[in-house]
Structure 1
Amino acid sequence: MSSDSHCKTCQREFGRTNKGHYADKYDVIWKVVLMGDSGVGKSNLLSRFTRNEFSLESRSTIGVEFATRSVVINGKTVKATIWDTAGQERFRSITAAYYRGAVGALLVYDLSKSHTYENLDRWLKELRDHADNDIAIMLVGNKSDLRHVRAVPTDEAKAFAEKNNMSFIEASALDSRNVDTAFQHLLAEIYKRTSQIPMQDNLIYQNSPRSNIRTITVADRSATTKPPCCNV
């Protein structure tokens, strides 16, 4: 194959995933954080939304991990990078920096454990100390499949959300109830808040010193960008 034909082949492939070399197509990339006490089910909410998976033996998150999923909102393809922040007290100083740059957050509690709800004020303060003032927030009462042992009344949580200018939903990562709805609603709210801001597609998340944190680099897709094989 000649270099010209090889380059044309790469150009057809450029813009979509090909053996890990090229980024998929999207119009904008948004950072969303999951936050709340350890054990409320943040990791399973993440895996249910991004991979439609659930694990009964999920381990506690150490530091920060993330996964991605692309959705279409008002004709725009949005790539959401959803960060799962550790809920343990000893990791809070590590994860604080990861709130910066987030445009959305899911604040999660376990509706069967009242102490996870009582700690929401602390998590909300931490978020607002480190994130932008206009961040979109959704309160999620997870584990609605355990409503027979409910410890947090729905009306009380709804009132808390309204008081703090948050959306609210109860969901279950176990049976997937309202998981997609929660994320989609949050992303739609982010779109509403940012629709007047020009889309950016040259964002770069820098390397992290923690080996369990995936890092994403989004290439600038300007007219001058070429696939690696064409730089010869």
Structure 2
Amino acid sequence: MNLKAQTLKVTLAGNANAGKTCMIHRLIHFQYVEGFHQTVGTATHDWSPIVGDKTLDIQIYDTAGAERYRSIASIYFREANGAVITYDASDEVPTEDLKFWIQSFREMAKVNAPIVIAANKADLIEDRSALQTQVNKVKEEFGYPVFITSSKTGEGIAQMFQFLAEKIHEVFPDSITIDSEFHENEQPGCQC
């Protein structure tokens, strides 16, 4: 019997211009690219982190954050195994928007799917003490791990996604499927 990893689904969500696409580009390609256009609809990216002795197969859905695309974005939360909810930490914390993204995810995703929050664009903030205070407030209010990240410098990106992958593996440890070759030799009907 051949077993292979099931593709796990992670959704990246948050308001427009929070830096979601740049964050994914940093994770996948290890570089920062200035001037990405806003995502329309969604884009997917494959990522294969190692957790313990296993390589996970994760597909990351980079969703549009613009208000007119919110209903489309929430479609990609369906049956998701985890989420990164992102906000621009250099701006005022969008508390109501974070509530919207988290609630939308919880309504559509798999039960107990882990969420992390990314306080992105940390490179734009000189007062790190104020940033840490902001992050602590967000963590206290929402009850999810909050990571200080910067797509530009790479700060916190790999650590946050690795943490999420480990949490997903804890919640969904048996995410394997039986390879289709195994079923080709089976006879139809009951084998009782």
Give the TM-score normalised by the residue count of structure 1.
0.71
Deviation at 1:141, TM superposition (A): 0.4
Tell me, which stretches of 5 or more residues in structure 1 are unaligned? 1-14, 16-24, 203-219, 226-232
Deviation string for 1:45-69 (max 9, x for gaps)? 1111112232211000000111011
Gaps of 5+ in 2: 185-192
Distance across 1 between alignment mates of 2:183 and 2:100: 47
Name which structure has the greater RCO, CA cutoff 8 Å, separation 6+: 2
Q: CA 1:221–1:52 in 2, change beyond 3 Å: closer, same or farther?
A: farther
Q: Percent identity between the aligned chains? A: 26
Q: Which amino acid aligns with 1:132?
A: K
Q: Which residue of 1 aligns with 2:147?
A: 169
- Give the letter aligned to residue 93 of structure 1: S
Number of residue pairs matched? 183
Q: CA deviation at 1:156?
A: 3.4
- 2:53 is the counterpart of 1:75: yes
List aligned pairs for 1:1-232, cutoff 5 A: 27-117=5-95, 119-148=97-126, 153-195=131-173, 198-201=174-177, 220-223=179-182
Higher strand proportion (structure 1 or 2): 2
Corresponding position of 1:18? none
Deviation per residue, 1:69-117 (Å, 9 max, x gap): 1111111110110000100111112222110111110010111111545
Q: Deviations over 1:175-207 (max 9, x none)?
A: 111110010000101111122xx33237xxxxx
> Partners of 1:176 and 1:26 in 2: how far apart?
31
Query: Aligned partners of 1:120, 1:175: CA distance in 2, in Å?
Result: 24
- Structure 1 residues 28 and 77: CA distance shift in structure 2, 3 A: farther
Q: Which ranges of 4 or more aligned residues in structure 1 deviate by more than 4 Å?
A: none
**Cα pair distance change 1:117/1:51, threshold 3 Å:** farther
- Asked whether the equivalents of residues 26 and 70 of structure 1 are also in contact (C-alpha less than 8 Å), the reply is no
Amino acid at match of 2:166: A
RMSD: 2.5
Counterpart-to-counterpart distance in 2, 1:153 and 1:173: 16
The structure-2 alpha-carbon separation of the partners of 1:142 and 1:34, relative to structure 1 and needing over 3 Å to count, comes to: same
Secondary structure, counterpart of 1:201 in structure 2: strand
Distance 1:190 1:162, change over 3 A: farther
| Contact preservation (8 Å) 1:112, 1:149 | no
**One-letter identity of the residue aligned with 1:83:** Y
1:34 CA drift (Å): 0.5
Instruction: Measure the CA separation in 2 of the matches of 1:26 and 1:70.
Output: 13
Preserved contact between residue 118 and residue 149 of structure 2 (Cα < 8 Å): yes
CA positional deviation for 1:171? 0.8
